[in-house]
């Protein structure tokens, strides 16, 4: 038997893509609430308003857009006439009982969700939490308990209270460390006994590519991104310290976006490109899980003329309070080269590369790599020797309802058979210490990259389209029944 008896099988979601109810019961606006819908070929935009003239507009931004996401003199704002998919998501807020029952039916042992910071502290600066927000998650966790589902809660998944972005340039300010610490300790205390596993920042290395999405940074210069990353890393260590003081059985994990890079040729220059590319993400895990800033990062900052607003005690905190476990998302691998090559592909965080001729891709250019999880799990084990948890993996597909009224997603089953098979080999053949697996977007939700509904990941279909039309009715797909069997036999038979 490859997996532990208490292996945490389940699914993952994020409030900004799933929860909806964007102003209900006192919630404040988030950064994600001002991001419009896009598509595979058109990037999402951030809408803005000039507070003096009242002029409004939108900037293509978010993923790989300009350094400054809105024009000088304007602020990101919720503007009438635009469609914002986060505002309703797929309405988990009003469907949580039904959705958790479906997870229970599949046999989920765990459910990864994120807590919406602005639902608890609407502007991020309040000293007292919003009781209605706390009550909502109490209802959610009580529902999970009915089915013996262990929640895994991300404190910040691609959303920062909008007021903090506007007033402080988001995480570029050290002020955010204190605001986040207050939020985190409030909820960790409040849900003590109900939530044991927490993650601080979703895909913390997203700061490299989309600082507004990752940390509400409006002016994402290299200096501001480096400072924002430092502030989040210090905040994470403070949360580990505080959580262990509240209850030593609580575990705080790091969450990293991980995708191995492959060299397109055996030219040594290509291997160096791979190494440097991997350092861009391993910097975040070297600090948050490893406890130390790596030398390569200091050298990089030196070359870029970056100096951090830091304190000696920051580094003590980082060393003393690393993450208890390392969780990561992994959808596939990417290929890089120093040679001319025009066949491009896309990938998570907009970080595509060269098309891999050995792999199949979906309609958004993301490749299915049948060995990626074994590689990822081994590499991360060798580097950190900490328990690992795969908290995102899956495939986006424009599912269609067939003539019989069902969704026959054999392509999803095929993807998951390959990926879970690879994960199983890492446990079976290599002995990696793996805590669990949560498939991304277990109930259909909005895509983070494009804002579309069409890019679906779920075991459960939700009736909603890219313009926000649909009944929001839920319907299990074929993969629902397949995953139920996988959980029931603890991955023995895929």
Closest approach of ligand BG6 to the CB of residue 114, in Å: 9
Closer of 18 and 48 to ligand BG6 (Cβ):
18
Contact between 320 and 288 under an 8 Å Cβ cutoff? The reply is: no
Where would I find the beta strands (DSSP E) of 422-464?
434-440, 460-462
**Does 447 help bind ligand BG6 (rule: CB under 6 A)?**
yes
Closer of 418 and 453 to ligand BG6 (Cβ):
453
* Among 3, 8, 14, 215, contact with ligand BG6 (rule: CB under 6 A): 14
For the record, the structure tokens of 453 come out as 């509904």
Closer of 391 and 427 to ligand BG6 (Cβ):
391
For the chain, the maximum distance between any two Cα atoms, rounded to a whole number of angstroms, is 66
Alpha helix locations (H) across 210-332?
211-215, 222-246, 268-288, 295-304, 312-320
* Among 440, 461, 480, 482, contact with ligand BG6 (rule: CB under 6 A): 440
Residues 88, 150, 159, 392: which is the catalytic one? 392
* Closest to 475 (Cα-Cα) out of 487, 462, 485: 462
Annotated active-site residue 203? The verdict is yes
- Give the number of residues in contact with ligand BG6, rule: CB under 6 A: 17
**Edge-to-edge strands of the sheet including 75-76?**
56-60, 45-49, 75-76
For the record, the structure tokens of 488 come out as 């029931």
Rg for the chain, CA atoms, rounded: 21
**Does 449 help bind ligand BG6 (rule: CB under 6 A)?**
yes
* Closest to 56 (Cα-Cα) out of 36, 26, 29: 36
Residue nearest to ligand BG6 (CB): 449
CA distance 215 to 169: 9
**Does 412 help bind ligand BG6 (rule: CB under 6 A)?**
no
CA distance 146 to 273: 50
Closer of 95 and 112 to ligand BG6 (Cβ):
112
Contact between 389 and 326 under an 8 Å Cβ cutoff? The reply is: yes
CA distance 445 to 15: 10
Strand (E) or helix (H) holding 329: strand 325-329
Q: Which one-letter DSSP state was computed for residue 200?
A: E
Part of the chain binding ligand BG6 (CB under 6 A), chosen from 74-82, 189-197, 305-313, 441-449: 441-449
Closest approach of ligand BG6 to the CB of residue 157, in Å: 6
Alpha helix locations (H) across 56-107?
92-106
**Does 448 help bind ligand BG6 (rule: CB under 6 A)?**
yes
Residues in 176-205 at the binding interface with ligand BG6, rule: CB under 6 A: 202-203
Closer of 117 and 293 to ligand BG6 (Cβ):
117
Alpha helix locations (H) across 385-431?
410-428
Residues 19, 88, 143, 203: which is the catalytic one? 203
Residues in 311-340 at the binding interface with ligand BG6, rule: CB under 6 A: 329
* Among 10, 28, 253, 396, contact with ligand BG6 (rule: CB under 6 A): 396
Closer of 74 and 419 to ligand BG6 (Cβ):
419
Closer of 17 and 74 to ligand BG6 (Cβ):
17
Annotated active-site residue 452? The verdict is no
* Among 200, 236, 348, 438, contact with ligand BG6 (rule: CB under 6 A): 348
Closest approach of ligand BG6 to the CB of residue 264, in Å: 24
Part of the chain binding ligand BG6 (CB under 6 A), chosen from 88-96, 173-181, 275-283, 448-456: 448-456
Q: Which one-letter DSSP state was computed for residue 253?
A: E
- Which distant-in-sequence residues (6+ apart) come within 8 Å of 345 by Cβ? 334, 335, 352, 353, 354, 355, 356, 361, 365, 366, 367
Q: What are the residues binding ligand BG6 (CB under 6 A)?
A: 14, 17, 158, 202-203, 257, 329, 348-349, 392, 396, 440, 447-450, 455
Active site residues: 203, 392
């Amino acid at each position: 038997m490859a997996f532990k008896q208490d292996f945490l099988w389940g699914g993952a979601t994020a409030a900004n893509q799933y929860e909806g109810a964007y102003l209900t019961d006192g919630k404040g606006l988030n950064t994600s609430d001002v991001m419009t819908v896009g598509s595979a070929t058109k990037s999402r935009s951030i809408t803005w308003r000039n507070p003096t003239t009242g002029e409004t507009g939108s900037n293509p931004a978010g993923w790989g857009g300009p350094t400054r996401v809105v024009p000088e003199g304007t602020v990101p704002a919720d503007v009438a006439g635009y469609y914002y998919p986060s505002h309703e998501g797929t309405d988990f807020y009003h469907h949580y009982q039904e959705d958790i029952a479906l997870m229970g039916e599949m046999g989920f042992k765990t459910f990864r969700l994120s807590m919406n910071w602005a639902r608890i502290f609407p502007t991020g600066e309040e000293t007292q939490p919003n009781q209605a927000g706390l009550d909502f998650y109490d209802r959610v966790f009580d529902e999970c308990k009915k089915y013996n589902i262990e929640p895994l809660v991300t404190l910040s998944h691609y959303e920062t209270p909008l007021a903090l972005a506007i007033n402080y340039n988001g995480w570029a300010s050290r002020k955010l460390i204190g605001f986040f610490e207050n939020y985190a300790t409030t909820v960790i205390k409040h849900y003590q006994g109900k939530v044991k596993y927490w993650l601080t920042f979703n895909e913390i290395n997203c700061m490299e590519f989309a600082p507004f999405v990752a940390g509400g940074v409006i002016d994402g210069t290299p200096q501001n991104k480096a400072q924002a990353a430092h502030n989040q890393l210090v905040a994470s260590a403070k949360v580990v310290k505080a959580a262990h003081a509240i209850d030593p059985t609580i575990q705080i994990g790091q969450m990293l976006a991980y995708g191995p890079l492959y060299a397109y040729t055996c030219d040594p220059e290509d291997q160096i490109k791979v190494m440097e590319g991997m350092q861009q993400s391993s910097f975040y895990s070297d600090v948050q899980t490893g406890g130390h800033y790596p030398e390569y990062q200091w050298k990089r900052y030196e070359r870029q003329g970056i100096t951090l607003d830091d304190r000696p005690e920051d580094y003590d905190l980082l060393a003393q309070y690393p993450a208890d476990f390392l969780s990561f998302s992994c959808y596939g691998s990417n290929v890089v080269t120093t040679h001319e090559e025009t066949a491009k592909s896309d990938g998570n965080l907009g970080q595509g590369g060269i098309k891999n001729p050995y792999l199949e891709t979906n309609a958004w250019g993301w490749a299915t790599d049948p060995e990626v999880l074994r590689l990822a799990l081994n590499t991360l084990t060798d580097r950190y020797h900490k328990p690992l948890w795969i908290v995102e993996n899956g495939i986006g597909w424009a599912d269609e309802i067939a003539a019989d009224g069902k969704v026959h997603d054999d392509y999803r089953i095929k993807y998951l058979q390959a990926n879970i098979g690879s994960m199983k080999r890492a446990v079976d053949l290599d002995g990696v210490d793996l805590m669990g697996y949560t498939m991304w977007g277990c109930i259909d939700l909005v895509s983070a990259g494009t804002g579309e509904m069409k890019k679906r990941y779920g075991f459960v279909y939700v009736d909603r389209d890219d313009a926000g039309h649909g009944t929001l009715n839920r319907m299990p797909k074929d993969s629902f029944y397949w995953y139920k069997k996988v959980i029931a036999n603890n991955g023995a038979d895929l």
